[in-house]
Amino acid sequence: MSDAKRNAELWRLLARVRGLRVERRRRTLNAAREVLHQANARVEQRREAIRSHDAQRASILQSCGHDQRAGRLWREALRWHDGRTPELHRALALAIREQSGAADGVAKASAQLQRETIGRDDAVERARRFKAALKDRD
């Protein structure tokens, strides 16, 4: 077997292997995008919980101004309600950090896919060149 023929087969095989690597990176990118989508949903869910919490607080505040006895109970409810506010904000901050990490994961997976795609395209082009050179020799 001639060197040119061996090189053509080698680059064809390499193109196939790199094609498989591209597919694996594409699946990784799709998985990273799904993680980002879920993280975005969690952030929006946490923000909605805070909006709902604020709306409930406004309702409790309106009830605090009633008679003395009921007002005291409503003020206690308001203190309990306000005690949950830091917990909701911590949950939002955690969700935002997860979202940021997921976005970084998508960017990394995208760069890896691009790198593998360039390698595959190079291998396919070299295989074509060697195949064309073999045909020209014959």
pLDDT in tens, 38-95: 999 999 999 999 999 999 888 877 777 666 777 777 778 888 888 999 999 999 999 9
Domain that holds residue 104: 3-137
Mean pLDDT of 121-130: 92
Report the distance separating Cα 56 and Cα 129, nearest Å. 70
CATH of the domain at 111: 1.10.287
Report the distance separating Cα 23 and Cα 29, nearest Å. 10
Structurally, the chain folds into a number of domains equal to: 1
> Rounded to two decimals, what is the model's pTM?
0.79
